[in-house]
């Protein structure tokens, strides 16, 4: 993360795990090879992955809710620039 902070900007799109599951189920298996839509424990698997990665994700320069509008996201990135 230090390298990313020193050379650019990182954006964490914080999307609820339940929303991620719905999105994964709506796409073909090939679209998300690490997330098997047929896995009955998909929600638990993603929740564990999210919790493990969250300490790194929260170091992002910009954090936005996954439900943020495009205009709001662009405004916030523009403010950072």
7-23 pLDDT, tens digit per residue, is 888 889 899 999 888 88
Q: The pTM is what?
A: 0.72
Architecture of domain 2-80: 3-Layer(aba) Sandwich (3.40)
User: Helices 17-25 and 42-57: crossing angle, nearest 10°?
Assistant: 130
Mean pLDDT in order along the chain per 10 residues (81 residues): 83 90 80 75 92 94 83 81 74
In angstroms, how far is CA 23 from the centroid of its own chain?
12
Are 62 and 76 spatial neighbours (Cβ–Cβ below 8 Å)? yes
Name the E strands within 1-81.
11-14, 62-65
The full length of the chain comes to 81
Dmax over CA atoms of the chain, in Å, equals 42
Give the pLDDT confidence score for residue 43 in this predicted structure: 92
Q: d(Cα 59, Cα 3) in Å, to the nearest integer?
A: 12
In angstroms, how far is CA 20 from the centroid of its own chain?
9
């Amino acid at each position: 993360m230090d390298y990313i902070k020193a050379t650019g900007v990182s954006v964490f799109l914080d999307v609820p795990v339940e929303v991620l599951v719905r999105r994964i189920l709506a796409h073909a298996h090939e679209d998300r090879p690490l997330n098997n839509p047929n896995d009955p424990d998909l929600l638990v698997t993603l929740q564990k992955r999210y919790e493990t990665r969250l300490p790194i994700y929260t170091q992002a320069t910009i954090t936005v809710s996954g439900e943020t509008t495009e205009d709001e996201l662009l405004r916030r990135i523009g403010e950072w620039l």
